[in-house]
Every structure is written in C-alpha cells, then in structure tokens.
Structure 1
Amino acid sequence: MRVERLADNKVKIFISYDDLEKRGIDREEMWQNGRKVQELFWDMMEYAYAEVGFEVAGPISIEAFTMPTEGIIVIVTQVPSLPLGQYEEEDGDDQEETFEVQVNMTSVVVVFFDFEDVIRAAAAIGDHADIKSTLYANDQKYYLYIHEDEMEEEWFESVWTILLEYGAHSNVTKAFLDDYGKVIVDGYPFLTILRYFS
C-alpha cells in the first residue's frame, strides 16, 4: 500500500492485487462494499493519517481507478460539509458524525505524448483494434479513455500491456477530458487510425 497527498483535502492510495489477495478480497468483491472491503477502507484511512496526516472528518468522495495488472488506485477527497443532516442525535446523546461516501468507478485512461505513439499502439494491438474507447487531445497530449465493458474482456490484460509500451497510465478523469479535451475519435479510434495511417 502506498499513499500520496495530492492536496490539503485529497489523497491518492495505491493497493496492489497482491495486497487484496492477502486480505481475502478478489477484484470483483472490491466494488461490493462488504465487511472486508469496509475494513480495508478504514485501514487505508489509518495508513493515510499515519503517513501524511490525512484525517477523515465529514463527507468524503471516493474515486477508484482499476489497473488491469497492477492494482487499484483510490482517490479520497474531503468535500464541504452538508448544511443539514450532517449529524445525528439520539436520546440526548452526544452528536455522532456520519459520513457521506460517493464511489465512482471509472475506466482506464492512457496518455500518449506523441500522436506517432498512438499510431504505433494501434498497429501493435492488431486484432483488438476494435476496442471501444474515445481518443481526446489536450495540452499537446493524447488521452485514450477505455470504456468499462472492454475491461471485462479476457484479452484486455494483453492489450493493456501493449498500450503501456507506447503510453502511460493517467489519473485524468473522463469528466476532465469532456470539459477540457477535444474529442478526436469516439467509438473505435484505433480502427479509424489504422484506416488512414496503416
């Protein structure tokens, strides 16, 4: 497990699939919010507090980025307190803090630093060039957003390995790309690239 403080109200935590296996948690179970997953989350929060002083107090937002071969990146953000319903009081006892947690499962984004690398990746993928994705341009870089349903395919791990030969995993979200990026090709960008640049 590794932790990095991104801002006063935000931390990034990486947990490998080996770490999950040692805790008896498989990849699919990670999204089911069971007892073991809840225990893992609070262990992560204790670790984040010990390592970088990040303390959970009030509502938080959680973004989880799955990486096919390495593990899972969890970004925890402290969000402004809600004006109402933030605390509960029962039978005159002290007020007890409650948490609002929003979990957003997002797909993988790969960044390419040159369009030639995008062309090379398309050629290298070959038979799986029909992977459903969206190619964006932003700040002289190219971002490939891969749709979630593609990540469930048996062949995706080999595709992911090829993509990382020509690009790098990015923590940029689809929402950011939609707001600030320019869509180059939506749907099957590698097929389009091979059609014009093969």
Structure 2
Amino acid sequence: MRVERLSRDKIRFYLSMDDLMERGIEKEDMWRDIPKVHELFNDMMDQAYQELGFEISGPVAVEVFALPAQGMVVVVTRGRTPSPSDLDELDGDDMYELEVTLEESDQVIFQFQDFEYLVQAARDVQPLMGNAGRVYAYRDRYFLVLDTDMETETLQQGIAVLSEFGEASTVTEHVLQEYGKTIWDQEAVGEIIRYFS
C-alpha cells in the first residue's frame, strides 16, 4: 500500500491486488459496509498519519478507482474540521463519516524509469496486446497507457509482462495529457518496435 499527498486536504492510496488479497477483500467489497473494509480504511488512515501527518475527523469523501488486474486507487478528501460541539456528539466509532464512490478504469497504465525499459516491455508485450497504446513522458518517467478491451486472460498475461520492466501507475491519463508530454498518441507499441527494434 502506497500513499501520497495530492493537496492539503487530499491524499491518494494505491492498493495492489496483493494488499487486497492479504485482507481477504474483493473489489466488490469496497462498496459494502463490512468490518474488513473498515479495518482496511483504518489502516490506511494510520499510514497516512504516520507518513504524511494527515489526520481526519468529520466528513470524508472517498473515491475508489478499480484498475483492471492491478488493484485500486483510493482518493481520500478531508471535509470541514468539526467543531468541539460536533465532537461531543460523536462516539469513538464515528470520528469520520464516509462518502464512497466507485469507478472502474478501462485502462492499464504502467510507468517506466528508463526509456530502455519501455522499449523492452513493448517488444515483449506486442505479441500479446498488439500495437496499440499511448506513451507519455511525465516527471522523468515514461508512461504506457493501454485500453483493456481484450480477454481477461490476455490482459493478465500482458500485465505480468509489463510488470517485469515497470510498475503499475496510479497517475490517470487525464493528468498525463494535461501535465505530461505526449510521445505517441496512438499505436505506441508498434511505433516503439518500428523505431527501436
């Protein structure tokens, strides 16, 4: 589980499939009001406090983005700080209220520390996933964005190959388009192989 601060009142967690499996949580469970999801959220808030000094009480908005075969991105936004009179009305279990929304991503986004890793990944993933994709440069890294309109088994194999050279990214394509530099906006895997193999 990784956490990063997005702003003064907003943080983002990346939960891998392993993080979820260790706790016996399925993606669908994030909608449900069950003890293991509460325990996961409490662990997340403890980590946010220890690593970032991010403390919550009162209303909290939680956005959950499911990434195909990669895990989840959870964005937590802190609401207004409750007044002392509000705190008197809350018992220990209700120090925050959750407003949860869930979205499914139809993309796989991997980041690579070096362009050479991206070239190697493209070479190995092309037989499985074809020539598609988009590549962006952002914060000294390269990002490969692939749409997931393929069979689940093919997608999982492709993700396994990409994981050998890079890591799943929690950055969205909207951020890459807005703040990054577009290297290839279509057929990226094919273009990489054409120029660098």
- Shared fold (TM-score, shorter chain, > 0.5): yes
- Aligned residue number for residue 176 of structure 2: 177
TM-score by length of 2: 0.67
Q: Which runs of 5+ in 1 are unaligned?
A: 82-93
Q: Which runs of 5+ in 2 are unaligned?
A: 50-54, 81-88
- Aligned residue pairs total 177
State the one-letter code of the partner of 1:147.
D
Match of residue 44, structure 2, among 28, 41, 48: 48
Q: Over residues 63-98 of structure 1, what are the superposed CA-to-partner deviations in whole Å (9 max), with x where a residue is unaligned? A: 435373xx62442322445xxxxxxxxxxxx89986
- Is the partner of 1:187 in helix, strand or coil? coil
Between the aligned partners of 2:190 and 2:115, the Cα distance in structure 1 is 15
- Aligned residue number for residue 84 of structure 1: none
CA contact (8 A) 1:119 1:194 kept: yes
- Aligned residue number for residue 58 of structure 1: 59
TM-score by length of 1: 0.67
- 1:1-198 alignment, distance < 5 Å: 2=1, 4=3, 6=5, 9=9, 10=11, 12=13, 14=15, 16-17=17-18, 19-20=20-21, 23=24, 25-27=25-27, 29-30=28-29, 33-36=31-34, 39-53=35-49, 54-55=55-56, 57-66=58-67, 68=69, 72-80=71-79, 99-106=98-105, 107-130=107-130, 132-150=132-150, 153-198=152-197
- Identity within the alignment, %: 22
Going from structure 1 to structure 2, the CA distance change for 1:56 and 1:3 (only over 3 Å counts) comes to farther
Between the aligned partners of 2:140 and 2:19, the Cα distance in structure 1 is 36
Q: Cα RMSD between the aligned structures?
A: 3.5
